[in-house]
Amino acid sequence: MNGWPAQRAGIGGERAGGGPVPVVLVGAGKVAHAAHLRELRDLPDELHLAAVVEPDPAHIAALHRVGLGAVDRYASVTAAARAGARAALVCTPWWTHRDVVLECLAAGLPVLCEKPVTLDPAEIEELAAAERRTGLPVTAGYMKRHDPVVRLFLDHCRARLDRARRLTVDIHDPNAPHQVAHLLPYDPPPFGPQPPPAREALARALGPAASQAQREAYARGLGGSLIHQVNLVHAVLAGSGRKLAGRLLHADGWAQGAGVSCRWRPDDGLLVDMTHQRLPAHRRYREVLEFTASDGVATLTLPSPYARDEAATLTVQSWDPAGGPAERRVYTAEPGQTGFRRQLLAWARQLRGEPGSRGAAGEALPGLADVRTDTRAVREAALRLA
């Protein structure tokens, strides 16, 4: 949703060139320190970290150690809005998002919310109703959609969808403290069981008949990771009439929940396969998406989402059906141009109402409609797990 009334967004009629948008950060934990805060520090002309809502004093103290200077701390989003914040970046644990986003919208703040915005279909509808009521957008934190090489991959797939045969995703994820330890100014939290509030949220989202294994996979391998790639597949399929939900062939879990895989058949000509493995001993994150068409293959390799010294690489190989020469092209973005950075830039342009403030391939920034579609697919997969 673009073009909401500026006075409702609290931006006071600012447009292009109106200066950085004052933002409240809600939750200064792992993802904030590992990704968003260092980007905010480097984008002072776009977004100004004006306030933070965070109950942990250690996390507040850590803000000073990442070069952000003094940031005012507030007890609530409402108080931060009264003090001048005009938008909210929500980085709290996923099971708190419903309450936090509703508070932001009630305070007049448009929202960028980390994924998963919610894994509960009922909460999605509640948030969508609040979005309509306030006229303020909730942008979903699908930062991969903003990576320039990912955008090339999506464009390539869309242009050849009539020739598509298979789209695969393979993720090797340490999902361990060492993956982000060098990015945090405090010891990262250990990987462990879901806390009681998360377990309660998962029970509501999946229903009382769901097993513990299904709930764990839904929160992590499916809803915590593969939901990103489900969103990319939906971006490829958009407007084609194809979908994932309702077309699931199977979903499997193994290694005591450390591995999960799903297969969909959006139509008779296309298979979509996705696998996520948690491999704590691996020192590096690895993600590969491959699109196979009848006349070529496109392979997208992505580094850790927290990496700044690596970039995505897209390799496209194609063959002339008439027997002409093969063609091979390789695309790589400059290091440092992360999806997180470009997501914040796109959001800042949207907040200021600038022309061209849209996301990948001219689409509106991902929002609750995307969340609804993606959640249907991963929830169905979770409930199908044996």
Report which of residues 188 and 94 the model is more confident about.
Answer: 94
Kindly state the average pLDDT of the residues 160-168: 97
Sorting pLDDT into bands at 50, 70 and 90, what band is 57?
Answer: confident
Residue 360 confidence (pLDDT) above 50: no
Q: Which of these, 62, 117, 57, 64, lies nearest to 89 by C-alpha position?
A: 117
Give the amino acid at 250: H
Residue 221 pLDDT: 96
Kindly state the average pLDDT of the residues 257-276: 97
Q: Residues 34-49: pLDDT tens digits?
A: 999 989 999 999 999 9
Stretch among 138-152, 184-198, 289-303 having the lowest mean pLDDT:
184-198
Residue 69 pLDDT: 64
Q: How far apart are CA 164 and CA 184, in angstroms?
A: 42
Domains and CATH numbers, the chain: 6-143+341-362 (3.40.50.720), 145-335+368-384 (3.30.360)
Q: Residues 213-259: pLDDT tens digits?
A: 999 999 999 999 999 999 999 999 999 999 999 999 999 999 999 99
Handedness of CA 150, 151, 152, 158 (dihedral sign): positive
CB atoms within 10 A of CB 45: 8
Residue 346 confidence (pLDDT) above 90: yes
Residue 10 confidence (pLDDT) above 90: no
This prediction's pTM: 0.92
Q: Residues 291-304: pLDDT tens digits?
A: 999 999 999 999 99
Q: How far apart are CA 311 and CA 331, in angstroms?
A: 10
